[in-house]
Chains A and B, each alone.
Chain A
């Protein structure tokens, strides 16, 4: 029973990766090079080395309840140094996708809300637009931090560095139809 479960979680995560073939999670030798190279490891609930061990062991609940993959900064330092040619960065992306897909994440994580808002903006307009993205995560900050954000935004605006109107691409209808060929069930609105 537990063996099937183990197999399934690792496979489920791998299947969310195009590069899964070249990403041999079970080959991890637990050397810890990834954790030693990771600039964010000190802030993670589990280090990259621990996370891959947990994925391989099928500890789905603990993995999903952790902040680790939302704290990954996609810097690829672990990836270029792993002696087994495993891309931990891609594993982190796969876990983020898995988490959004299953709607399961650690309470208080702002990452998922931002990712979704960001993605929706691109799908709607073809371009990103910083100001409308801000509210989706800004209120999760504490008060002092919130004011720091406002201060930053105001200064950027004064310097002419924040856009006033959302940019749009010209052939938006084609663009939306293109997206429907990838995500046929919607997400394009």
Chain B
């Protein structure tokens, strides 16, 4: 059985609660054990790096150190948390002075990070570590006829971790095919949703959301699948604002990929948090 340490991150406590519950349900069904980090802290998202880089690394290092104690690889469902964890671990490994400074601070909480924990995004964990074949073999209710736009967003892919392909990844598509859905091709699948730009420039952020929705709809998407709470909130919660601002009529359901996986695995909607979305997915899912 596969087992991972699990760092949910702040958004998953409430705002993205459906992501959390659907992750737990889906993992259970696939025989993947997730062990939530004990007493984890906020990693600072993208915002802490505006203030102090060293402190930002330290916040993330605390979670890494807690994960390391379990001896398991750690998985994060939020792309910003994932990026922070991945690169904090990498920088601490390549820079002993940085590691020493941070570990000196971690001592205050009886912790130490030696740099050995591997960091995975939840999407990578399902799409690559578990893999489409394994998932396909457990599907009981394939999402036949549902056209889903896979939305990668930014920080799962960027910055590059090694020399991997970042201009046209396919693993999200493969995962959607494995659950019987039809992944659509659209040009903006890796284009930024605006992140926290809504705070500093509302109009720029809204127009980015608009472009994304338009591109997916033009290619025939019934819904968009996301792998990050920030992307989900931007694409969903600002749809109404986009409609008001640009006179558009978008009503595109934005679900977490784990919710779709859960459906295909036969888990009841309620346990997956389906029904908590602001743009209802019922019309699309009713056809199943």
Main SS of chain A's interface residues? helix
When the two chains form the complex, which single residue of B47, B101, B110, B241 contacts A148, counting CB atoms closer than 8 Å?
Answer: B241
Are B105 and A71 touching (Cβ within 8 A)?
A: no
CA distance A19 to B196 in the complex (A): 23
| Known A-B contacts A122-B42, A151-B240; A159 and B47 likewise in contact (beta carbons under 8 Å) | no
Chain A interface size band reads 35 or more
Binds A, one of B117-125, B199-207, B257-265: B199-207
Summed over the interface, the residue pairs from A and B with CB atoms below 8 Å come to a total of: 191
Contacting residues of chain A (127-148) with chain B, CB-CB under 8 angstroms? 127-130, 137, 141, 144-145, 148
Query: Which residues of A are found within 8 Å of B53, using beta-carbon distances?
Result: 16-18, 93, 97
Contacting residues of chain B (1-28) with chain A, CB-CB under 8 angstroms? 10, 13-17
A30 at the interface (CB under 8 A from B): no
Are A80 and B106 touching (Cβ within 8 A)?
A: no
Cβ proximity bits A15-31 to B, threshold 8 Å, 1 near / 0 not: 01111000000000000
A14 at the interface (CB under 8 A from B): no
Cβ proximity bits A64-80 to B, threshold 8 Å, 1 near / 0 not: 00010011011111011
Cβ proximity bits B69-94 to A, threshold 8 Å, 1 near / 0 not: 00000000000000000000001000
Q: How many residues of B contact A (CB 8 A)?
A: 67
Are B51 and A97 touching (Cβ within 8 A)?
A: yes
A1 at the interface (CB under 8 A from B): no
Are A74 and B154 touching (Cβ within 8 A)?
A: yes
B186 at the interface (CB under 8 A from A): no
10 pairs from A and B in contact (CB 8 Å cutoff): A74-B46, A79-B158, A80-B157, A111-B50, A122-B41, A127-B10, A160-B14, A175-B109, A177-B109, A182-B54
Closest 7 CB pairs of A and B: A76-B158, A75-B192, A181-B105, A174-B109, A43-B204, A111-B200, A163-B14
